[in-house]
Protein backbone atom coordinates (compact mmCIF):
# COMPACT_ATOMS: atom_id res chain seq x y z
CA UNK A 1 0.00 0.00 0.00
CA UNK A 2 1.44 3.37 -1.07
CA UNK A 3 1.78 6.08 1.61
CA UNK A 4 -0.87 8.77 1.32
CA UNK A 5 0.53 12.15 0.26
CA UNK A 6 -0.51 15.28 2.19
CA UNK A 7 -2.99 17.65 0.48
CA UNK A 8 -1.47 20.15 -1.94
CA UNK A 9 -2.74 23.05 0.18
CA UNK A 10 -0.84 21.68 3.19
CA UNK A 11 2.34 21.49 1.11
CA UNK A 12 1.91 25.11 0.03
CA UNK A 13 1.20 26.07 3.64
CA UNK A 14 4.60 24.66 4.59
CA UNK A 15 6.40 26.25 1.62
CA UNK A 16 4.90 29.69 2.33
CA UNK A 17 5.77 29.47 6.03
CA UNK A 18 9.39 28.44 5.37
CA UNK A 19 9.79 31.11 2.66
CA UNK A 20 8.54 33.88 4.97
CA UNK A 21 10.86 32.75 7.78
CA UNK A 22 13.87 32.62 5.42
CA UNK A 23 13.11 36.04 3.88
CA UNK A 24 12.50 37.62 7.27
CA UNK A 25 15.70 36.31 8.82
CA UNK A 26 17.78 37.13 5.73
CA UNK A 27 16.60 40.75 5.67
CA UNK A 28 17.22 41.14 9.39
CA UNK A 29 20.75 39.78 9.07
CA UNK A 30 21.40 42.19 6.19
CA UNK A 31 20.03 45.12 8.19
CA UNK A 32 22.07 44.12 11.24
CA UNK A 33 25.30 44.23 9.23
CA UNK A 34 24.40 47.24 7.10
CA UNK A 35 22.25 49.73 9.03
CA UNK A 36 23.50 49.53 12.63
CA UNK A 37 24.90 52.89 13.75
CA UNK A 38 24.12 54.43 10.37
CA UNK A 39 21.61 57.12 9.37
CA UNK A 40 18.30 56.06 7.77
CA UNK A 41 18.33 55.12 4.10
CA UNK A 42 15.55 57.01 2.37
CA UNK A 43 13.69 54.95 -0.25
CA UNK A 44 10.73 57.24 -0.96
CA UNK A 45 11.38 60.80 0.26
CA UNK A 46 8.77 61.96 2.76
CA UNK A 47 7.15 58.54 2.99
CA UNK A 48 9.40 55.48 3.42
CA UNK A 49 12.91 54.71 4.67
CA UNK A 50 15.05 51.92 6.11
CA UNK A 51 16.26 52.33 9.68
CA UNK A 52 17.61 49.94 12.32
CA UNK A 53 15.37 49.53 15.38
CA UNK A 54 14.97 46.90 18.10
CA UNK A 55 11.60 46.05 19.59
CA UNK A 56 10.78 43.99 22.67
CA UNK A 57 7.04 44.25 21.94
CA UNK A 58 4.68 42.55 19.53
CA UNK A 59 3.98 43.37 15.89
CA UNK A 60 4.32 47.08 15.12
CA UNK A 61 5.96 47.66 18.55
CA UNK A 62 2.88 46.86 20.63
CA UNK A 63 3.16 45.61 24.28
CA UNK A 64 6.91 46.15 24.49
CA UNK A 65 6.83 46.21 28.31
CA UNK A 66 6.21 42.44 28.59
CA UNK A 67 8.74 40.58 26.38
CA UNK A 68 8.68 37.25 28.26
CA UNK A 69 4.89 37.09 28.20
CA UNK A 70 4.91 37.86 24.48
CA UNK A 71 7.44 35.08 23.83
CA UNK A 72 5.21 32.53 25.55
CA UNK A 73 2.12 33.90 23.81
CA UNK A 74 3.85 33.82 20.40
CA UNK A 75 4.88 30.19 20.98
CA UNK A 76 1.27 29.25 21.76
CA UNK A 77 0.07 31.08 18.64
CA UNK A 78 2.54 29.18 16.46
CA UNK A 79 1.39 25.82 17.83
CA UNK A 80 -2.28 26.80 17.52
CA UNK A 81 -1.94 27.91 13.87
CA UNK A 82 -0.03 24.76 12.93
CA UNK A 83 -2.60 22.44 14.53
CA UNK A 84 -5.52 24.45 13.12
CA UNK A 85 -4.10 24.27 9.61
CA UNK A 86 -3.63 20.50 9.78
CA UNK A 87 -7.19 19.96 11.03
CA UNK A 88 -8.92 22.11 8.40
CA UNK A 89 -11.74 20.39 6.53
CA UNK A 90 -11.92 20.14 2.75
CA UNK A 91 -14.04 23.31 2.16
CA UNK A 92 -11.70 25.35 4.39
CA UNK A 93 -8.34 24.38 2.89
CA UNK A 94 -7.93 27.73 1.10
CA UNK A 95 -7.30 29.20 4.57
CA UNK A 96 -3.92 27.44 4.60
CA UNK A 97 -2.48 30.12 2.28
CA UNK A 98 -2.98 33.05 4.68
CA UNK A 99 -2.26 30.78 7.67
CA UNK A 100 1.13 30.03 6.10
CA UNK A 101 1.85 33.77 5.96
CA UNK A 102 0.77 34.27 9.56
CA UNK A 103 2.72 31.25 10.82
CA UNK A 104 5.86 32.29 8.95
CA UNK A 105 5.67 35.81 10.35
CA UNK A 106 5.02 34.58 13.89
CA UNK A 107 7.95 32.16 13.67
CA UNK A 108 10.25 34.86 12.24
CA UNK A 109 9.65 37.20 15.16
CA UNK A 110 9.73 34.32 17.65
CA UNK A 111 13.20 33.34 16.42
CA UNK A 112 14.36 36.89 17.14
CA UNK A 113 12.92 36.83 20.66
CA UNK A 114 14.58 33.53 21.52
CA UNK A 115 17.89 34.35 19.82
CA UNK A 116 18.27 38.07 20.60
CA UNK A 117 15.70 38.91 23.29
CA UNK A 118 14.13 41.45 20.95
CA UNK A 119 12.78 41.79 17.41
CA UNK A 120 14.67 43.64 14.68
CA UNK A 121 12.56 46.22 12.82
CA UNK A 122 13.74 48.29 9.88
CA UNK A 123 10.80 49.36 7.68
CA UNK A 124 9.79 52.92 8.56
CA UNK A 125 6.73 54.48 6.91
CA UNK A 126 6.00 58.12 7.75
CA UNK A 127 4.25 61.28 6.64
CA UNK A 128 5.80 64.62 7.55
CA UNK A 129 6.71 64.22 11.26
CA UNK A 130 4.26 61.37 11.89
CA UNK A 131 5.89 57.94 11.85
CA UNK A 132 4.04 54.64 11.69
CA UNK A 133 5.48 52.05 14.14
CA UNK A 134 8.61 50.52 12.58
CA UNK A 135 8.00 46.99 11.30
CA UNK A 136 9.67 44.14 9.40
CA UNK A 137 8.95 41.39 6.87
CA UNK A 138 7.39 39.14 9.53
CA UNK A 139 4.97 41.88 10.61
CA UNK A 140 4.04 42.53 6.98
CA UNK A 141 3.41 38.83 6.41
CA UNK A 142 1.16 38.61 9.47
CA UNK A 143 -0.79 41.68 8.35
CA UNK A 144 -1.25 40.39 4.78
CA UNK A 145 -2.27 36.97 6.11
CA UNK A 146 -4.89 38.51 8.39
CA UNK A 147 -6.31 40.59 5.51
CA UNK A 148 -6.53 37.46 3.34
CA UNK A 149 -8.26 35.58 6.17
CA UNK A 150 -10.89 38.32 6.43
CA UNK A 151 -11.35 38.38 2.65
CA UNK A 152 -11.69 34.59 2.44
CA UNK A 153 -14.23 34.59 5.26
CA UNK A 154 -16.54 36.57 2.95
CA UNK A 155 -15.73 34.80 -0.32
CA UNK A 156 -15.34 31.12 0.63
CA UNK A 157 -18.34 28.82 0.05
CA UNK A 158 -20.47 28.61 3.16
CA UNK A 159 -19.51 25.44 5.03
CA UNK A 160 -22.90 25.35 6.76
CA UNK A 161 -24.48 24.51 3.39
CA UNK A 162 -22.77 21.12 3.58
CA UNK A 163 -24.16 20.63 7.06
CA UNK A 164 -27.65 21.59 5.85
CA UNK A 165 -27.43 19.08 2.99
CA UNK A 166 -26.34 16.38 5.45
CA UNK A 167 -29.31 17.19 7.67
CA UNK A 168 -31.63 17.11 4.65
CA UNK A 169 -30.23 13.74 3.56
CA UNK A 170 -30.65 12.40 7.08
CA UNK A 171 -34.23 13.68 7.21
CA UNK A 172 -34.93 12.13 3.84
CA UNK A 173 -33.47 8.82 4.93
CA UNK A 174 -35.45 9.01 8.13
CA UNK A 175 -38.63 9.74 6.17
CA UNK A 176 -38.02 6.82 3.86
CA UNK A 177 -37.43 4.57 6.86
CA UNK A 178 -40.65 5.82 8.48
CA UNK A 179 -42.63 5.13 5.30
CA UNK A 180 -41.16 1.66 5.10
CA UNK A 181 -42.11 1.00 8.73
CA UNK A 182 -45.67 2.24 8.13
CA UNK A 183 -46.03 0.04 5.05
CA UNK A 184 -44.66 -2.91 6.96
CA UNK A 185 -47.03 -2.33 9.87
CA UNK A 186 -49.97 -1.95 7.47
CA UNK A 187 -49.05 -5.21 5.75
CA UNK A 188 -48.86 -7.01 9.07
CA UNK A 189 -52.31 -5.73 10.03
CA UNK A 190 -53.79 -6.90 6.72
CA UNK A 191 -52.20 -10.32 7.14
CA UNK A 192 -53.59 -10.57 10.68
CA UNK A 193 -57.05 -9.56 9.42
CA UNK A 194 -56.97 -12.24 6.68
CA UNK A 195 -55.83 -14.87 9.18
CA UNK A 196 -58.68 -13.91 11.55
CA UNK A 197 -61.22 -14.02 8.71
CA UNK A 198 -60.08 -17.50 7.68
CA UNK A 199 -60.24 -18.81 11.21
CA UNK A 200 -63.77 -17.39 11.60
CA UNK A 201 -64.93 -19.08 8.44
- Say how many C-beta atoms besides its own lie within 10 A of residue 184's C-beta: 10
Q: What is the C-alpha separation between 58 and 187, in angstroms, rounded?
A: 73
Q: Is 162 labeled as catalytic in the residue annotation?
A: no
Sign of CA dihedral 119, 125, 127, 132: negative
DSSP 4: P
Question: What is the pairing mode between strands 130-131 and 119-127?
Answer: antiparallel
CA distances from 42 to 29, 45, 130 (A): 19, 6, 15
Q: What is the C-alpha separation between 11 and 7, in angstroms, rounded?
A: 7
Among the listed residues 24, 112, 124, 139, the single catalytic one is 139
In the chain, alpha helices (H): 8-34, 67-86, 96-116, 137-155, 160-200
Q: Is 181 labeled as catalytic in the residue annotation?
A: no
Among the listed residues 24, 112, 121, 124, the single catalytic one is 121
CB 54 within 8 A of CB 168: no
Burial degree of 44 (CB within 10 A; 0-12, 13-18, 19+): exposed
Residues classed as catalytic: 121, 139
Amino acid sequence: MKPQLPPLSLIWFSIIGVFVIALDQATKLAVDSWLVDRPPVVIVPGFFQLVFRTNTGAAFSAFREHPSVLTIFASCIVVFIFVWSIRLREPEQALRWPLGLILGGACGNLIDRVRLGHVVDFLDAYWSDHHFPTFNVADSSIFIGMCLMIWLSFTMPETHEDAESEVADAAKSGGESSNADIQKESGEKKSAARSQARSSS
